[in-house]
Homo-oligomer: A and B are copies of this chain.
Amino acid sequence: MSKKNKPKIFKPRPISGFLEWLPEVRLVELRWMDEIRDAFESYGFCSIETPSVEEVEVLVAKGGDADKEIYTLRRLAAEPGEEDKARLALHYDLTVPLARYVAQHAGDLVFPFKRYQMQRCWRGERPQDGRLREFMQCDIDVIDMDEVSMHFDAEIPAITLEMLHRLDVGPVCMHINNRKILQGFYEGLGIEDVVGAIRIADKMDKIGPDGVLKVMTEDLGLDKDVAQKCVDLANIKSFDLSFADQVRAFGVDNEMLEAGIEELMFVMLELEHLEKGSVMADLSIARGFDYYTGTVYEGKLVDYPDFPTICAGGRYDNLVGSYSNKKLPGVGISIGFSRIFSKLVKEGRIAIGAKCPTHILVACLPGTARSEVAETSRTLRNRGFKVEMYHEEKSLKAQMKYASRKGIPFVWFPQNSEQPKHEVKDMDTGEQVVADLETWLP
């Protein structure tokens, strides 16, 4: 080993678009992930994980802009012929992997298949401000054979709201709409390019009502009063069922429109037991993706209107069209975990505490037998506490400083010849008291 050449020194640096947290932030992130998992599991959803990669063919099949963002894998030591045909790429969301998973394992799954999935995804974007190239996504979906109960259209946002509530991010409002309302309304108005019109309506947030009016009339060639009606529809928002009368007041006669109104009313009614203000019928919600066919959702932080959508989803008629001839519709929501978490951390809105999970540091001072320190640590650990034993025989001051810097709430002093009973110090109050090893509680 002494013969080893001195290696080149690389100054380590962060990689743009890839997050990395210090232990104290990671502790909060772990708590968040536990809460999310617990919320999902409390409704009986099972966890799945899929490989980080899919075949390139599978990933690009979905089409759209996603192609550009795909990171393909190549072996560094690839042989010449191998180089050209990257066959594997990192997944950029959890929807494509879910579809592939369900198609591949349909025979082994019990339907309705209720799964959650919390995994990293990657997008090979040129990094821009705030754009993550690696991020944790948390998805929850229900897939069923041929038909999915409409009750799940209500249960999915209820679970999501409960989960977000546990994260202490402040009040969240789930904005709900139904694609059938948009499609039926637009068709009823005689608009031919309904998908195009929905895509434009979806940009309301970005370009405002005037922008939508302009694009709809100029690019889509709609009459000004037709375009105005689309904008007016999008302005309908209600915490109760009153949206229905407002939509019907336009007098647009269309079967699909009526079906959409009924479905949205159904979902709003099922969610009536939730806290007022947490669910809104919001007819501006469109979701650009053309695979949504019914209910659509966007969740927003009420106290931070500028914050982008923190979760979104909806109902789709068929998940597995690209992989199977079966019809497997579903409904789900995707939570942009890393986007929310990193933004709140950077804005200082998340309380950061200890740098470790430790409850008790067992001090190791010269007067105390080491075996006593070790046995004390084991006893406390067996009682369910997270316990560090201080291993170096350093000064009391050094050990207290260690506990204080790491945010460990209690320091334990095992009994010794000069101190006949165990003592424990509360690092918050500074109080040190005699404590019984078998019964002490914080």
Q: Is A205 positioned at the interface, with any CB of B under 8 Å from its CB? A: no
Q: Is A103 positioned at the interface, with any CB of B under 8 Å from its CB? A: yes
* CA A279 to CA B69, docked complex, whole Å: 50
Q: Is A249 positioned at the interface, with any CB of B under 8 Å from its CB? A: no
Q: Is A300 positioned at the interface, with any CB of B under 8 Å from its CB? A: no
The segment out of A12-20, A302-310, A421-429 that lies at the interface is A12-20
Residues from chain B with Cβ under 8 Å of A124 in the complex: 73-77
Q: Is A311 positioned at the interface, with any CB of B under 8 Å from its CB? A: no
The reply to whether B86 and A73 form a contact with Cβ atoms under 8 Å apart is no
Known: A73-B90, A75-B71. Contact between A43 and B12, CB under 8 A? no
Q: Is A195 positioned at the interface, with any CB of B under 8 Å from its CB? A: yes
The reply to whether B22 and A356 form a contact with Cβ atoms under 8 Å apart is no
* CA A8 to CA B63, docked complex, whole Å: 12
Count of residues in A whose CB is under 8 Å from the partner chain:
105
- Nearest CB of B to A390, in Å: 9
> Interface digits, A1-45 against B, CB 8 Å rule (1 contact, 0 not)?
101101111111111001111110011001000000000011111
Residues from chain B with Cβ under 8 Å of A408 in the complex: 44
Residue of chain B at shortest CB distance from A358? B44
The reply to whether B109 and A23 form a contact with Cβ atoms under 8 Å apart is yes
Contact of A290 among B1, B86, B323, B388 (CB under 8 A): B1
The reply to whether A104 and B12 form a contact with Cβ atoms under 8 Å apart is yes
The reply to whether A43 and B387 form a contact with Cβ atoms under 8 Å apart is yes
Residues from chain B with Cβ under 8 Å of A42 in the complex: 381, 385-387
> Interface digits, A124-156 against B, CB 8 Å rule (1 contact, 0 not)?
100000000010000000000000010110010
- Nearest CB of B to A321, in Å: 6
Known: A23-B47, A77-B68. Contact between A14 and B58, CB under 8 A? no
The reply to whether A44 and B387 form a contact with Cβ atoms under 8 Å apart is yes
Contact of A26 among B47, B291, B324, B385 (CB under 8 A): B47
- Can you show 22 pairs from A to B with CB atoms below 8 A apart? A1-B291, A1-B293, A10-B322, A18-B51, A18-B53, A19-B51, A20-B49, A20-B51, A22-B109, A23-B48, A23-B109, A27-B47, A43-B381, A51-B134, A52-B52, A68-B76, A69-B75, A73-B73, A74-B86, A110-B405, A114-B356, A151-B391
Q: Shortest 8 CB-CB distances between A and B: which pairs?
A: A44-B388, A44-B358, A18-B51, A75-B124, A151-B391, A12-B104, A23-B46, A149-B391
Query: A1-B293, A52-B120 given. 19 additional CB < 8 A pairs?
Result: A1-B290, A4-B290, A9-B324, A11-B323, A12-B101, A12-B323, A20-B50, A21-B49, A41-B357, A46-B357, A68-B76, A69-B76, A71-B73, A71-B76, A74-B86, A112-B391, A149-B391, A149-B392, A273-B374
